[in-house]
Amino acid sequence: MFISKNPDNTQPTTDIISYICAMSEKKVILDSGIEIKPLYTAANIEQEMPGQFPYTRGVHEGMYTAKPWTMRQYAGFSTAEASNERYHFLLNNGVNGLSVAFDLPTQIGYDSDDAMANGEVGKVGVAVDTIEDMERLFKGINLETVSTSMTINASGFILLALYIALAKRQGADIKKISGTIQNDILKEYAARGTYIYPPKPSMRIITDIFEYCSKEVPKWNTISISGYHIREAGSTAVQELAFTLSNGKAYLKAAIEKGLDINVFAKRLSFFFNAHNHLFEEVAKFRAARRIWANITKELGATNPDAQKLRFHTQTGGSTLTAQQPMNNIVRVTIQTLAATLGGTQSLHTNGFDEALSLPTEQAAGIALRTQQIVAEESGICDTVDPFAGSYYVETLTNEVEAEALKLIEKIDVMGGAVSAIEQGFIQEQIANSSYKYTQAIERNEKIIVGVNKYVSNDGIKIPIMKIDDSIQQTQIEQLTKFKANRNQEEVKQKLDKIVAVANSSENLMPSVIEAVEAHCTLGEIANVLRGIWGEYK
């Protein structure tokens, strides 16, 4: 059936639009509450160009036509040696950026020999207690030439100090090292839970990092404001966008209040988003994110275009992976790869198909990387900028996602901002409610998950899984004991005392922490002396 047009040849007739809408009996409503129409037209589409404010079509004029996104596979498990082996495997297979996963004790500031670390060492990431662990982790890798992202928040300032100290050991110019620490504590309070200190000192640490890196490590992205874990906790796409950008707004305001120049520090802020299976909603989310952020930064005084641009890393959705028929996850990850790249991501991690069962095996990690490479090399995505631009559907959906996200951001602003909204439990409640509704929809078969509530079968395929041996903890403790025995204990005490003094002043914390790790203070020792001052968030 052909759609007739108006005499001016610009729009389908109202009668035809009404006819198509009437013929469509199926009503489609996204998890975010946005209703999908059976037909979209050119109404409300504005002409925008990539690389120009408000950057809806991309933060660079040429986007992937000039250079594909960075393929950055997330890896870290067991010991530093085992993780280093995986990094070399990935680098040898075409990865052009590393992404480090740390174990739970490292994330919350405990050494491997702490009673709180028992049973968790090396399980969900790599254990890093000391500068020697960091050295083993990056053995044979030149930190001046590789970009490294570290998923670390509460103890992120200590891991950054260890990374800088190692770069100096290698003889690198720290003004040339590049990478990112996640360093996003607000989403920990709202969605993930790996926090240490209360919000006020945590925000002080973050702004200290902004200040230090802008002067000393200018190529380092000082924060990766994360929507990924908000989405993993059960939020909708719109909530992921709104809560993440509200957190970003809080960080901007905190840095401005500290006296930092938004045109300087905002250039090194980055974001971290999730990619789920609804291709069009995800693309619209990414496009809307750039536009909203550009306007937020402009309203707060940013005039430098680089300070207005939202640059982001994407990871495919861990919570979308199923233990049932796990090979289906390869298809899911491919759809999510398309969503991220069609949405204009700057870097991407693709999950292994087996991650609903265990940490990814080398085979699964290899397939995940090849998925990115096939999309980059064979799909045509890199041939043109923002292929969905001008799509009636995607452009309209971008506007609708933006409008719904702005409603939530305005609610949070009225509450006093993200910190206040978290303290009042608003963001946590919103996420919990969405998660509950999503689960109910699956149980009622209103939302189809192939292999779970439809097309259910036992495919008979046995998937090898990765197991982390409990002996890893003992090995790590033995190395740590030896490390502590072979250092200058008086110097360690002096450096820890200096951290305490600096923490009780307005002086920037980062130089004293770098000095401490260089003097062989451990991650847990540094975290603990600050626990003694600031306490823990409950």
Residue 382 — very low, low, confident or very high, per pLDDT cuts 50/70/90?
A: very high
Residue 19 — very low, low, confident or very high, per pLDDT cuts 50/70/90?
A: low
Torsion of CA 344, 99, 221, 271, to 10 degrees: 40
Task: State the pLDDT at residue 9.
Answer: 47
Residue 47 — very low, low, confident or very high, per pLDDT cuts 50/70/90?
A: confident
How many other CB atoms sit within 10 Å of the CB of residue 443? Answer: 10
Percent of the chain at pLDDT > 70 equals: 94
Tens digits of residue pLDDT in 149-195: 999 999 999 999 999 999 999 999 999 999 999 999 999 998 889 99
Distance between CA 379 and CA 221 in Å, rounded? Answer: 30
Mean pLDDT computed over 200-212:
95
Distance between CA 343 and CA 357 in Å, rounded? Answer: 29
Task: State the pLDDT at residue 15.
Answer: 64
Residue 4 has pLDDT above 50, yes or no: no
Distance between CA 223 and CA 248 in Å, rounded? Answer: 9
DSSP-derived 3-state class of residue 499: helix
Mean pLDDT computed over 485-504:
97
Cβ atoms 332, 320 nearer than 8 A = yes
Torsion of CA 137, 143, 146, 148, to 10 degrees: 60
Task: State the pLDDT at residue 7.
Answer: 44
**DSSP letter string, 323-347:** SSSTTHHHHHHHHHHHHHHHTT-SE
Task: State the pLDDT at residue 99.
Answer: 86
Cβ atoms 255, 24 nearer than 8 A = no
Q: Which residues have C-beta within 8 Å of that of residue 273, sequence separation ≥ 6?
A: 227, 228, 231, 240, 244, 285, 286, 289, 312, 313, 314, 315, 340, 345
Residue 330 has pLDDT above 60, yes or no: yes
| Strand locations in 125-171 (E) | 147-151
Q: What is the mean pLDDT of the chain?
A: 92
Mean pLDDT computed over 199-226:
95
pTM: 0.87
